[in-house]
Chain A
Amino acid sequence: MPRYTFRLNGQSVSVDSWDPAQPLLYALRGPLALHGAKFGCGLGQCGACTIIVDKTATRSCQLPVSRAAGRDITTLEGIGTPEKPDAVQAAFIAEQAAQCGYCTNGMIMAAKALLARTPKPTVEQIKQALDGNLCRCGTHTRIVRAVRRASQQV
């Protein structure tokens, strides 16, 4: 069975997969036991599974494991812990920018990628950057506030 090696949250890891088309999301949530990225649609429509691949916010439900090989991958777990959250995570906590929290992974990872390329975004830029991320609980206003707060502290 083919083996795929990539960097994950700063460490080298390998996974074996019977199907090169298997989305990376299933490897993360299965054998790698990282549950930050969520299955939302499997269609690249909602953003719940967002991870950062080589600095770009990427839908892990659309990224075949074979194409993850050799890449540098960051998940929500890799950027901070409850005790030591990173600036974006801390801003989401301070603003209580979650209800059910199922979309939160995608929001934070998309915000991380945005702030890496645009450190001081306008509200409109934040909304555009999150356009592909769906929130069903209606927490939008708080999420925008959290990203603004993070941008002021990064």
Chain B
Amino acid sequence: MDRTEGMSRRDLLKAGGAIVVSFAFPLPVRDAFAQTTPRSGARPVDAGEVDGLLAIHADGSVTLYTSKVDVGTGIRIAFAQMAAEELGVSPSRVAVVEGDTATCPDQGGTGGSTGLVRGGVEIQAAAATARRALLQMGATRLNRSVADLTIADGEVRPRSGGTGVGIGSLIGDRLFSLKVDRNASLVPPSQHVAIGKPLLRPDVPAKCTGRHVYVQDFTLPNMLHGRIVRPPSMGATLVSVDESSLGGIPDVRVVRVQNFLAVVAKDEWAAVRAATTLKASWNEQPTLPGHEGLDHFSRTAPLERDQEVLNRGNAADVSRRAAKTISATYFWPFQSHASLGPSCAVADVRADGSATVWTASQGVHGLRGNLSKVFGIPPDKLRVVFLDGSGSYGTNGGDHVAADALLLSKTIGQPVRVQWMRHDEHGWDPKGPQQLLDVRAALDTDGRIVAWETEMWVPNAAPGARALLSAEAAGLQQEHGTGSGAITQNGDPPYAVDNVRVVAHLIKDTPLQLSNLRAPGKIANVFAVEGFTDEIAAAQRIDAVEFRLTRLSDPRAVDAITRTAAAFKWDARPSPNPRARQGNVLVGRGIAYMRYKQMENYVAMAMEVAVTPATGQIRVRRVTCAHDCGLVINPDGLRNQVEGCIVQTLSRALHEEVKFDRSRVTSVDWTSYPILRFPEAPNVDVILIDRPEEPLVGAGEAATAPVAAALANAVFDATGVRLRTVPFTPARVKAALANA
């Protein structure tokens, strides 16, 4: 392929003697390159300033600037709708620039379902502040009082009709020079024209026609392709490298910095071949406990400390005196983001010491701060630019690969693109942690729950950015944390119980690097709490829906469960199902409910399963979910997210467990780390409960949390067997049935 290197595409086509494809790159490519050029003028990169978050151009179009990025969640169109509503323009006139540290103020990283709650709400307030200013400008221009004016169709105009003035003409790229007024009054829900519409996402046409520019597609002139040669086991040190083993692979160079080993080449395939061919010897030490027996490891590993998450009443005393106590142990394994496309980044460290990194990171400002410290590049010389990547659902390998590319570019003085291979992503992405939970309930003689205790064993999540793999290997100093997200929430039941205690035993060391994988912690805690709730209901021969409804008073909670049960055509009766057998399968249904973080979304979910006892296979036939996240900005985008949460989490619950031995992760492809496939995909019915008068909350992960419990509860209903360890693999189900 060398011959074509350095040739323009036009030259290439001449050489080929024919035209290949249209050269008319559509919009997304221009957008990608536009993001490489800082915006003109002196707009403050400050989320407290109206001009930091938005610009209104002379033609009346609008550009938003935000650090919240769209990782396939559809927040681009939602931002446009929220701003358009206040500015009286069509959402199609609103462009969004995301995740460029040079132009986008820091509204925090894109995690914890904060995209709309923080990013969107701040943009909305900026737009409302701008609206007020535009009305005042219009009043002066039109010589009318503000009270007589409104803003619609891109202009300030008299309410009574008559000539208006375009907002582009009023402000036209000039600065508002106003602080964002967080209390600026918003367009009332009854007058919404942009919010609440299922507008189509602007990125989908380009994604469906191969024109959308992902970070994996981004190139620079004179760019080399890098591949990292990770050690064969975690913590191994590099002894020697035999560069002669690369004979026959053209234009390839080995880069070694202490224990960091990589290859760079002009041709990407040459880099791939070189990375697999290169002979190196490593000094290895087994350091990991292995994935088998990880529950025992969790219970016995040294602790950093105990954290009292919640203590209401006196659970311990009440339990001791109770007529009856029951308990159970639940376990969730390490899981991978398992992004479909391995992480990728492009870095360009220039001779003057300045640098730019293109990345799909969910937190460009945080990443810049970390890279700046670790690589000694002043923040004002380091620019980090977001481009779409493969879905990440938390921090996948993206931050690591950005550091890989930066280290290589800094070392060789050329732009470098690094894409991880499949085994890199599965093997080295930071992982959603294992969680072990003991749950205990004390019942009085009438069967009421008088006390509830949850003890969880989870890795200690020290604050700060995760250690960067390449920096660690290269011997660069870095202070780091072990961020796994807020993993102790939702450990308490959402029901009326007077005495509740939740304790987290925080394990000192983690075998694998941690991450905030979708609904971090909540996913396992709700599995345990709602699975155990079902156990209590079943033990008392009470219908699972009735059991929950009698213990809830919040009308939104009751509404979510009631609507789910009605749409699902729930057959009220105790579990297990007395008429489960249908031919070769056992059929059952289950429900779970939770309020996300105990203060956000209300989600209820019912599902029907068919279990084949002969094989242990679980087939989910249908899922019904009622979802209340307050005000809905874009119902179709929201629906897509809720559907995705459900199907992805069925995959996690049915199939997924990171496997590792004493040295390394061994589940490094789609055979050893299987995920849900099309024949298993159930029908999913999502009921959106829109509450325009309620504040919105994020919806990117809440529906993840109740999935495993609803599934386990349905399997219990079908089989009478309780599954308390994820994943519910056929072998595990078969063994559980045999022991029943």
Chain A residues proximal to chain B, CB less than 8 Å: 1, 5, 8-9, 11-19, 22-23, 26-27, 29-43, 45-46, 48, 75-83, 85, 89, 92-93, 96, 98-105, 108, 124, 126-128, 130-131, 133-144
Contacts and interface: CB of A to CB of B under 8 A. Distances in A.
B19 interface: yes
Contact of B391 (A35, A100, A133): A100
A136 B4 contact: no
29 contacts: A9-B20, A9-B21, A15-B16, A22-B269, A26-B272, A30-B4, A31-B5, A35-B210, A36-B209, A36-B210, A38-B216, A38-B341, A41-B670, A75-B210, A80-B209, A82-B26, A82-B209, A83-B26, A85-B209, A92-B208, A93-B200, A96-B204, A98-B204, A98-B208, A101-B208, A136-B390, A137-B644, A139-B644, A140-B681
B235 interface: no
B210 A76 contact: yes
B65 to A, nearest CB: 22
Contacts of A32: 12, 20
A77 B211 contact: yes
Contact of B683 (A5, A26, A96, A141): A141
Given A18-B1, A31-B4, A12 B208 contact: no
A29 B643 contact: no
B21 A100 contact: no
Interface in B9-61: 9, 12-13, 15-22, 26-27
Q: Is the interface of A mostly helix, strand, loop or mixed?
A: loop
Nearest to A88: B208
The CB with the most chain A CB atoms within 10 A, among B2, B18, B207, B208, is that of: B208
Residue among A19, A103, A128 with most chain B CB within 10 A: A19
Nearest to B648: A138
A108 B205 CA distance: 12
B560 interface: no
A136 B73 CA distance: 13
B675 interface: yes
Given A40-B422, A43-B669, A139 B269 contact: no
B209 A96 contact: no
Given A77-B210, A98-B204, A142 B216 contact: no
A38 to B, nearest CB: 6
B389 interface: yes
B176 to A, nearest CB: 33
Nearest to A13: B16
A108 B17 CA distance: 29
The 8 closest A-B pairs by CB, nearest first: A36-B210, A138-B647, A100-B72, A101-B207, A100-B391, A140-B681, A99-B72, A76-B210
Interface string B202-243: 011111111111101100000000000000000000000000
Contact of B341 (A36, A102, A128, A140): A102
B21 A96 contact: no
B185 to A, nearest CB: 33
Contacts of A39: 216, 341-342, 419
Contacts of B267: 18, 26, 30
B3 A14 contact: no
B681 A141 contact: yes
Contact of B72 (A15, A18, A37, A137): A137
